[in-house]
């Protein structure tokens, strides 16, 4: 298997690990942060309004929660993919480099010979 394909495979596995980490750790944090941001935004936009603004505030909170979940999933999955891809390059990167010259040693006068 060549280095590029190996790196892509490890990147996909890293993305899968990032998705699993999102399900375990990131979902509730995304809901919490997004909901808090939606509440704050609703408070700033609508102000201390009466009962008519309550429905709009709830809609803004729901939109904030969904946005928080999407942002959290994006961060977990993309960071897992990037980590897997970098590990793939580090493990198989040396085999992908084509060397045009190899150093074989030095002569008595300090001149390097190339092949």
Residue 51 backbone phi and psi in degrees, to 5: -70, -25
Say how many domains are in the chain: 1
Widest pairwise Cα distance in the chain: 92
* pLDDT value of residue 106: 55
**Could you give the CA distance from residue 54 to residue 72 in angstroms, rounded to a whole number?**
27
**For the whole model, what pTM was predicted?**
0.69
Which residue range forms the structural domain that includes residue 57?
3-114
Q: Which residues of the chain have pLDDT under 50?
A: 96-97
* pLDDT value of residue 59: 86
């Amino acid at each position: 298997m060549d280095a590029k394909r190996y790196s892509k495979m490890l990147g996909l596995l890293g993305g899968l690990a990032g998705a699993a980490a999102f399900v375990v750790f990131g979902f509730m944090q995304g809901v919490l942060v997004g909901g808090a941001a939606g509440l704050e935004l609703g408070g700033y936009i609508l102000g201390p309004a009466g009962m008519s603004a309550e429905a709009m505030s709830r809609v803004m909170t729901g939109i904030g929660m969904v946005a928080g979940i999407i942002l959290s999933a994006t961060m977990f999955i993309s960071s897992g993919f990037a980590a897997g891809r970098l590990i793939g390059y580090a493990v198989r990167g040396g085999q992908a480099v084509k060397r045009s010259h190899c150093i074989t040693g030095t002569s008595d006068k300090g001149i390097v010979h190339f092949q």
